[in-house]
Amino acid sequence: MTDSTFLPFTRPDIDAATIAAVGEVLTSGWITSGPKMQAFEAQLSALFAGRPVRAFANGTSTMEVALRMANLGAGDEVITTALTWVATANVIVAVGARPVFVDVDPVTRNISLDAVEAAITARTRAIIPVYLAGLPVDMDRLYSIARKHGLRVIEDAAQAIDSRWRGERIGAIGDLVSFSFHANKNINSVEGGCLVMNSEAEALRAERLRLQGVIRTGPDGMEVEEPGGKFNLSDVHAAVGIGQLARLESITRRRAALAECYADAVADARLAELGVGLPPRADPAGALTNWHMFQVELPVDRMLGARAATMQALRARGIGSGVHYPALHLFKFYRAQGWREGMLPHTERLGRSLLTLPLFPAMTDTDPARVVSALVAVMGELS
């Protein structure tokens, strides 16, 4: 196996025009937050139906700032899922609030809205749904619950750029909506993220919070009314984001086409008959994924070495894979807060068994069949 034949689970694609645009920024004399960042924000706002948008250094800072803008703090509870990157919970802790984990729906793999409603207490102040692999939750029901109980919704849409709910783009609707532009996302700015908000007043506060809380007036006036962080996006990163955003439509279309290739390969190989759980294609209520990831659920309880051995065997065949995500409530830090195995059975099962297979636009139409064939062979060896 050579490096050229290895198929990673994802690979960023930066075109020549974007690379040239980065070079222009580097020679412009202005490389930190400036005109490119402002242009990126304007383009993102247009994408999200004209809503106010501010760009950030990463998709974790967007979440932390959103929580601060919702005035979350000590004594408050935030309901979320444990089947997510640990940042979703860490930012809740960072603002002094308490994450309350609820189980996921076993079909969509997203947060169970039945469980959300059952977990609401007098201390609940917000809900953070996570759109795993880009598939949104039932937005109508989510916001009905939020309105009924007077809760803020902070959408962890890190993986959901260009996903839809009843034909509307995620971010064009909703409360506070956070996106990530990390290198493994559908579009990236190498590192980065953005927060979509409801008003210019919120956007101005977000600006302050992303840069130490500083308010500037005149040539030398400076004030701080509340502390912020160092979360600003550089023009270098923004130039990459602008180049990627211009290709969003073609990227989404290509990922959907590759998902269809996977569907054909899976059907031909009768993967479901081998006990492999397949990813949800769409929620009949109206959710449409951007195919950020293609995740299968392995029958790990009857496989030697479980998921780790599967990943190693696939790698030996030139196929990369990923884990998204271990059940985070079982990490040592959250166990110390009282979370235990058995409390979230669907989350725990998926956390042990989900395997992310390769999916990125530069793949060929025959690559999904190659991946599925390798997976079938590995399962035969490990069963």
Q: Confirm if 350 and 297 have CB atoms less than 8 A apart.
A: yes
Q: Which amino acid is at 36?
A: K
* Of the candidates 48, 355, 68, the residue with the CA atom closest to the CA atom of residue 206: 68
The first and second tokens of residue 318, run together, are 């030139």
The CA distance from 43 to 264, in Å, is 36
CA distance readout (Å), 113 to 66, 77, 143, 248: 21, 16, 10, 30
Give the CA dihedral 133, 136, 137, 143, nearest 10 degrees: 140
Chain centroid to Cα 199, Å, comes to: 24
Sheet-wide strand order for 287-288: 168-169, 164-165, 287-288, 282-283
83 Rama class: left (phi>0) / alpha (psi -120 to 50) / beta: beta
Among 36, 148, 185, 332, the active-site one is 185
What is the chain's length?
383
CA dihedral sign, ordered 329, 93, 324, 315: negative
Q: Which residues contact 159 (CB under 8 A, 6 or more apart)?
A: 131, 132, 133, 134, 180, 185, 186, 290, 292, 293
| 185 catalytic per annotation | yes
**Residues taking part in catalysis:** 185
